[in-house]
Amino acid sequence: MAKPRKEMIAETRAKLIAAARRAFGTIGYAEASMDDFTAEAGLTRGALYHHFGDKRGLLQAVIQEIDAEMTERLNRVSADAPTRWQGFVEENVAYVEMALEPEIQRIMFRDGPSVLGDPSTWPNANGCIAAVARTISALKSEGAIADIDPEAGARLIVAASSGAAQWIANSEDPKETSRRAVDGFRTLLEGLRAHEDEIRRAV
Amino acid sequence: MAKPRKEMIAETRAKLIAAARRAFGTIGYAEASMDDFTAEAGLTRGALYHHFGDKRGLLQAVIQEIDAEMTERLNRVSADAPTRWQGFVEENVAYVEMALEPEIQRIMFRDGPSVLGDPSTWPNANGCIAAVARTISALKSEGAIADIDPEAGARLIVAASSGAAQWIANSEDPKETSRRAVDGFRTLLEGLRAHEDEIRRAV
DNA sequence: GCTTCCCACATACGTGGCGTATGTGAATGG
DNA sequence: CCATTCACATACGCCACGTATGTGGGAAGC
* 203 residues of chain B, pLDDT tens digit each: 446 778 889 999 999 999 999 999 999 999 999 999 999 999 999 999 999 999 999 999 999 999 999 999 999 999 999 999 999 999 999 999 999 999 999 999 999 999 999 998 898 778 899 999 999 999 999 999 999 999 999 999 999 999 999 999 999 999 999 999 999 999 999 999 986 454 444 43
Rounded to 5°, angle at Cα B149 from B143 and B155:
120
Interchain CB distance below 8 Å, B164 and A180: no
Mind listing the domains of chain A with CATH numbers? 1-53 (1.10.10.60), 64-201 (1.10.357.10)
Which pLDDT does position A5 carry in this prediction? Answer: 75
A113 touches chain B (CB under 8 A): yes
Residue nearest to nucleotide C12 (CA to C1'): B46
Given a cut of 80, whether residue A113 has pLDDT beyond it is: yes
Which nucleotide is closest, CA of B39 to its C1'? C10
Enumerate the residues of chain A whose CB falls inside 8 A of the CB of residue B114.
28-30, 110-111, 113-115
**Any atom of strand D under 7 A from CB of B54?**
yes
Which chain A residues in 40-99 lie under 8 Å from chain B, judged by CB atoms?
A: none
Q: For a pLDDT cut of 70, what percent of chain A falls above it?
A: 94
A111-122: average pLDDT: 93
Is-contact B91 B131, C-beta < 8 A? yes
B137 touches chain A (CB under 8 A): no
Which pLDDT does position A195 carry in this prediction? Answer: 65
**Any atom of strand C under 7 A from CB of A5?**
yes
Query: Chain-wide mean pLDDT for chain A?
Result: 91
Which pLDDT does position B2 carry in this prediction? Answer: 45
Expressed in angstroms, the distance from the first to the final Cα of chain A is 71
Is-contact B136 B145, C-beta < 8 A? yes
**Any atom of strand D under 7 A from CB of A9?**
yes
Which pLDDT does position B200 carry in this prediction? Answer: 41
The Cα–Cα gap between A29 and B95 comes to 29
Which pLDDT does position B23 carry in this prediction? Answer: 97
Given a cut of 50, whether residue A22 has pLDDT beyond it is: yes
The Cα–Cα gap between B111 and B117 comes to 9
Chain centre to alpha carbon of residue A122? 12
Distance A27 CA to C25 C1' (A): 35
The Cα–Cα gap between B139 and B146 comes to 9
A191 touches chain B (CB under 8 A): yes
A33-61: average pLDDT: 96
Which pLDDT does position A3 carry in this prediction? Answer: 58
Given a cut of 90, whether residue A126 has pLDDT beyond it is: no
Distance from CA of B95 to the nearest CA of A (A): 14
Whole-model pTM? 0.89
Distance A9 CA to D1 C1' (A): 26
**Positions on chain C within 7 A of a protein C-beta:** 8-12, 16-21, 23, 27-28
